[in-house]
Structure 1
């Protein structure tokens, strides 16, 4: 099953190539379509890096860290 970051890696070229092609077919010049699709790709990358950032699974959370009793 594809994870979130696999989907992100697949969406980057789809955004660059697919949106550029779609905008070109609609009649928008290539010099405008490429930057627009690049902005979408940058948005996907930014979301993966900052909004849904990967976490380090080796970090211990308070729920998994054993506490020391002072009794």
Structure 2
């Protein structure tokens, strides 16, 4: 399944060419159509970076076999 950033990377060129072509077909000048499509592309990148920014995933809260009851990782074992 595709991730959010894969979708954004696919939508940017589709939006750019689609909006440019649509605006040009409706009578806007090429300069205006490219500028409007570029603003949409920049806003998509801005959303991906700042609104839904890439962050590290937090580890699961479930303890693993390497953790003891106190939650310390690799705690020394009393060997007598």
Instruction: Return the TM-score normalized by structure 2.
Output: 0.70
What CA distance in whole angstroms lies between the structure 2 residues aligned with 1:3 and 1:56? 14
Larger radius of gyration: 2
Cα RMSD (Å) of the superposition? 2.0
Larger helix proportion of the pair: 1
Between the two proteins, the alignment pairs up a number of residues equal to 65
Structure 1 residue ranges (4+ consecutive) displaced by more than 6 angstroms after TM superposition = none
Structure 1 unaligned blocks of 5 or more: none
Structure 2 unaligned blocks of 5 or more: 63-70, 73-80
